[in-house]
Amino acid sequence: PRVALIDCGAKGSIASSLVERDAVVEKLPYDATVADVESVDPDVLFISNGPGDPENFEAAAALVEEYVGDIPLAGICLGQQVIANALGGETEKMEFGHRGVNQPVLDLRSEQVVMTTQNHGYTVAEPGNLDVTQINVNDDTPEGLDSDELDVITRQYHPEANPGPHDTLGFFDDVLGMTPARTN
């Protein structure tokens, strides 16, 4: 599968985690246009992590609005926030944020708790058209947003964190599992 990775400050380990799963990753800048995305003909649009207020990433939000329902969408950290905002949600600045390793996250479907690595100061306050599928055990903030209908999957934490727990690396398998088999 071909992944258009919108680089809002992406960690290299995100691209590496996708490449390890036989994906072709095409990095595009945070202000990429529809024409830029079309030029790589992606199977997935992936909004990366990065610093700052998700409201400032208008170009990335416009891409989400353009492609939702047409190709699968994925996001990590800031990417979750940008996708939520673009799909009718709201974000807010946290008083302290989530920093470091050992942030417990509860998957609401499996009821499994995993330890995660995080570094963010904003959170999704209202998920909009997305379902909250994971929450932070400490403060109940959304850690995972999904929509099977829209083919969207996001995580607030860093599944690819190195060093750190590797319990959440299956996220990348889930992202690539949303893509159809490519014939060219």
Say how many C-beta atoms besides its own lie within 10 A of residue 73's C-beta. Answer: 26
**Among this protein's residues, is 166 annotated catalytic?**
no
Catalytic site residue from 8, 98, 143, 160: 160
Q: Which structure tokens are listed for 145? A: 């947003």
Say how many C-beta atoms besides its own lie within 10 A of residue 140's C-beta. Answer: 10
Residues in Cβ contact with 57 at an 8 Å cutoff, skipping those fewer than 6 apart: 8, 30, 47, 50, 78, 82
Q: Please state whether beta strands 44-47 and 142-147 pair in parallel, antiparallel, or not at all (unpaired).
A: unpaired
Catalytic site residue from 77, 98, 120, 143: 77
Catalytic site residue from 8, 98, 120, 158: 158
**Among this protein's residues, is 8 annotated catalytic?**
no
> Which residues participate in catalysis according to the annotation?
77, 158, 160
